[in-house]
Structure 1
Amino acid sequence: MTRDAQRAKVYAAEGFVRTMFDRAAERGDPVADFFGTHLTLPPEARFASAESVQTYVDDVLAHPAVRERWPAAGAVRVRARRGASAAHYESAGGEATIAVPHGRDTWALRELVVLHELAHHLCPSDPPHGPEFVAAHCELAGAVMGPEVAHVLRVVYAKEGVR
């Protein structure tokens, strides 16, 4: 496997985007000042359990735009994991799994994080956070959450030096 040189930059960019969504939610105002432009952010889904993430992932994989773009994408199982700090994607023995933290109050049980993990499933690239993954994540977020989210991700990725 190739060294995942962009991983830290990808995580930093996505942390910035999550903060944008958090601040908009705290204010109760979806309009964000994004580098001098007013941009309306869509609502972001939050999840309470692995079961609710499973329902969401199944719905995303059945979405017409996702099926058209990634017709060979198979099913993904969602399971709870012990750690409360992060989600991750794994593929072993022909089974794809997204593991999400067990517990209600965690930053990882949110739509942006689940789409990141699902993008790993749709684009099993080497390195895992390389340009192909970044493009797939932006495209997936745009198809599911809207073009504003794809735009925000692209701009913030570029600002962080992500290719």
Structure 2
Amino acid sequence: MTDRDVQRAKVYAAEAFVRAIFDTAAQQDSRVVEFFGTELTLPPEAKFSSVQSVRRYVDQVLALPAVAERWPVSPVAVRARRGLTAASYERAGAVPTIAVPERETRWALRELVVLHEIAHHLCPDAKHGPAFTGTLCDLAAAVMGPEAGYLLRVVYAKDGVAVE
């Protein structure tokens, strides 16, 4: 019997809200947002044009000293995914793989989605539990800036998502 991924739906909903905040800031051409009574200046979020650019980004993130020192892990492959509904992290073969949809929709070719999948690589057995969400918050803070990590933590708390 496997453990249920009890936080999965809440994590996805919280992260969709965070992405919407980033999208709104980008559409308004202003990085300053009011967030629960606090003014935050959001970092720009990287958008990718191809699976190859995601692959380069993943390699660069894993090579960052702040990441490599805290989470020493093996490399991860990146490939195109046939389906359009989700990005995923797979540990089925010899090399763990991040799969992102590339055709018809590019919603997954954005930094917050790719960092989510990298967090699965850094914390592979945690599903979407507190260790995973804590890893994603810390990873976003290390890569994008402390505001991104803070935003994730607050939205997770608002949505009842446990974070280590």
The question of a shared fold, defined as TM-score above 0.5 by the shorter chain, is answered with yes
Do the aligned residues in 2 keep the contact of 1:6 with 1:129 (CA within 8 Å)? yes
Which residue does the alignment assign to 1:121? Answer: 121
Equivalent in the alignment of 1:11: 12
Instruction: State TM-score, norm by structure 2.
Output: 0.95
Q: Which runs of 5+ in 1 are unaligned?
A: none
Name the CA distance, whole Å, in 2 between partners of 1:101 and 1:129.
21
CA distance in 1, matches of 2:42, 2:23: 11
| 1-structure distance, mates of 2:41, 2:52 | 30
Query: 1:19-30, aligned counterparts within 5 Å?
Result: 19-30=20-31
Letter in 1 for 2:136: H
The one-letter code of the counterpart of 1:98 is I
- Output the CA distance in 1 between the equivalents of 2:153 and 2:14: 9
Sequence identity, in percent? Answer: 65
| 1:47 and 2:44 correspond | no
Q: For residues 27 and 93 of structure 1, what CA distance do their matches in structure 2 show? A: 43
Letter in 1 for 2:79: R
Q: Is the 8 A contact 1:48 1:104 kept in 2?
A: no
Contact 1:85 1:106 in 2 (8 A): no
The structure whose RCO (Cα within 8 Å, separation 6+) is larger is 1
Q: After TM superposition, which residue ranges in structure 1, 4 or more long, deviate above 6 angstroms?
A: none
Offset, 1:104: 6.4
Taking the TM superposition and a 5 Å limit, the aligned residue runs for 1:57-68 are 57-68=58-69
Distance of 2:94 and 2:32 partners within structure 1: 42
The yes-or-no answer on 1:94 pairing with 2:94 is: yes
CA distance in 1 between counterparts of 2:124 and 2:3 reads 13
Q: Aligned partners of 1:125 and 1:131: how far apart in 2?
A: 11
Give the match's secondary structure for 2:45: coil
* TM-score computed with the length of structure 1 as normaliser: 0.96
Structure 2 residue runs without a partner (length 5+): none
**Superposition CA RMSD, Å:** 1.0
Q: CA deviation at 1:31?
A: 0.3
In the comparison of the two structures, how many residue pairs are matched? Answer: 161
Q: Deviations over 1:108-155 (max 9, x none)?
A: 1100000000000000124x0000000100011110000000000000
